[in-house]
Amino acid sequence: MRQCLTNPESGYYINKDPFGTKGDFITSPEISQMFGELVAIWCTTEWIAQRRPQRIRLIELGPGRGTLMRDMLKAFQSFAPFKNTIVDICLVEASPTLRTTQHSTLCDSATTETEDGFSSVTRYGIPIKWYINLKEVPRDVTSFIIAHEFFDALPIHQFEHTQNGWREIMIDYSVPQVKTAVSLPGQTRSFDEDPKFHLTVLPYYTASSKVGPESSPRYKNLPVKSKIEISPESWDIAKELALRISEQRTPKAPTGSGAALVIDYGPAETIPVDTLRAIKGHHFVSPFEEPGTADLSADVDFTALKLVAEQEGHVAVHGAVEQGEWLHALGIGARATVLASQQSTPEGKDRIAREYHRLVERSGGAMGKIYKVMAFTPRGTPTSVGFGGGVIDRGDDEVE
C-alpha cells in the first residue's frame, strides 16, 4: 500500500489529482462547502470549551486539493476571535502534485523551499507550511488537527488465526502461463502475461504475526479461522495526535490543549476484516492489477485508534459517531436551508438538497452512515459538540 500510493516516482498520489467526477473518487469536502464550514464550527466550539487558547496551529493530514482547508478558512472569517489566534497552518502531504494544487487553492504568493519543507502565505495572510511527515511539524503551540480520509490510506497488515497460531496474509504471484508451449532451439520463450498477484496465508510465522495479533486482547482471544486487519502506522499517528494534545499543558489547561478530528470510513467498534480495496474511475477494481494506478484503501479501525489515544496520550476520546449524526448535531440542516434559500434557480436549490443528502443519508451509496467521526480532546474536557455535548463557554478569565 505504501509503495503503490506514495512511492516518490510512481505512487498513485504522487503524479496525479485523483479527485472529482472526472477523477477516481469524490470526497465530502469536494461535494459541498457545508462540510468544511461545519468542521470549522466544530473547531470553534472546541476552542471556546477549552477557554480560548491564544495561539493555535491548524494541522491537516492529507489535504487532497486543499478544499476542506479553504472552506474552513472562509468560515473562520466569521469568527474573528478564533481566526486571530491562528499562528500558522501546517499541511502534511506526501504528494508534490497535490501540494502544488493545495498551494493554488489556498495562496496567491509564491512558495519557498525551506530546510524542512515548503512555505507560503494564504490569501487570508496566515503563514502556511508543508511537511511530508507529521513528526516534522513543530510542537510549540496548541494544535487543532484534522484528518479527513487520511487514515484509510495507511498500510495495513492482515492475519489469519490458524491451528498453528496467527499467520500473516501476504502477497504472492503466480508464474505466468506460457502460450507457446514448444520452445525450439534459438527461440526465446515468450510470456504473454504479467505475473498475477494474489493474497496467500503464509505457512510459517513472521515478526509481524508474532507481535501484531498479540498486541491487544481484542485479537488474542479470537477463534481459529478469524481474520483481522491492523494498521500499526495508524496507531503510531493516533498516538502522536494524542501526545500533541496532552503535552500542551498550562495552568489554564492542566491536562493539555488542542484537539484532533478524524473522519473516515470504517466500523466504530468491530475489527476490520478483508477490507483492502482499489478504486479507479469511481469503480472497484482488483488491488493487484496495475499497482500504482488505482487508489488503495482499507477500513479504519476506530476502536484501535481510541485505545491507543486513551492509553498513550491521556486524552478524552469522543465517538466514533456516524457522519450524518455528527453533521446534523453541528447544524447541517439549518445551513442547507440557508444556502438553498440563496439559490435563485430550482436547479441550484436541487443541487444543495442533493449535496446535503449525499453527506448525511444512511443508505443508497450516501456517506452518512459509512463514514464516522472521532475526536480527541484533553482529558477531562466536556463532551464535544457533535458527540452528544453542547456548546460550553467556560470563559477565558483565567488567561494569563
| Nearest CB to ligand SAH, comparing residues 45 and 95 | 95
Sheet with 295-297, strands from edge to edge, namely 283-285, 277-280, 295-297
Return the residue nearest ligand SAH (CB atom): 62
Interface with ligand SAH, residue 92, by CB under 6 A: yes
Interface with ligand SAH, residue 326, by CB under 6 A: no
CB of 300 to ligand SAH, least distance (A): 12
CB of 64 to ligand SAH, least distance (A): 3
DSSP-based three-state secondary structure for 138: coil
How many amino acids of this chain bind ligand SAH (CB under 6 A)? Answer: 20
Cβ within 8 Å of residue 317, ≥6 positions away:
306, 309, 310, 374, 375, 376
CA distance 73 to 350: 26
CB of 62 to ligand SAH, least distance (A): 2
CB of 87 to ligand SAH, least distance (A): 22
| Nearest CB to ligand SAH, comparing residues 153 and 241 | 153
Interface with ligand SAH, residue 13, by CB under 6 A: yes
Termini Cα distance of the chain? 47
CB of 283 to ligand SAH, least distance (A): 17
| Nearest CB to ligand SAH, comparing residues 94 and 352 | 94
Question: How many C-beta neighbours within 10 Å does residue 60 have?
Answer: 24
Using only C-alpha atoms, what is the Rg of the chain?
A: 23
CB of 149 to ligand SAH, least distance (A): 4
Among 128, 153, 260, 271, binds ligand SAH (CB under 6 A): 153
Question: Which H or E run contains 57?
Answer: strand 56-61
Beta strands in 266-332 (DSSP E): 277-280, 283-285, 295-297, 315-322
Between residue 59 and residue 88, which ones bind ligand SAH under the rule CB under 6 A?
Answer: 62-64, 68
Question: How many C-beta neighbours within 10 Å does residue 153 have?
Answer: 23
| Nearest CB to ligand SAH, comparing residues 95 and 377 | 95
Binding mask 22-41 for ligand SAH (x = CB under 6 A): -----x-xx-----------
| Nearest CB to ligand SAH, comparing residues 63 and 319 | 63
What are the b/e assignments for 228-257, b being 16+ CB within 10 Å? bbbbbbbbebbbbbbbbbbebeeebbebbb
Q: Candidates 79-87, 146-154, 156-164, 250-258 — which segment interacts with ligand SAH by CB under 6 A?
A: 146-154
| Nearest CB to ligand SAH, comparing residues 237 and 304 | 237
CB of 273 to ligand SAH, least distance (A): 22
Question: Is there a cis peptide before residue 153, judged by omega within 30 degrees of 0?
Answer: no
For the record, the C-alpha cell of 95 comes out as 504528494
CA distance 215 to 90: 32
Burial class (CB in 10 A: 0-12, 13-18, 19+), 131: buried
Among 149, 229, 240, 299, binds ligand SAH (CB under 6 A): 149
The contact set with ligand SAH (CB under 6 A) reads 5-6, 13, 19, 27, 29-30, 62-64, 68, 92-95, 98, 148-150, 153
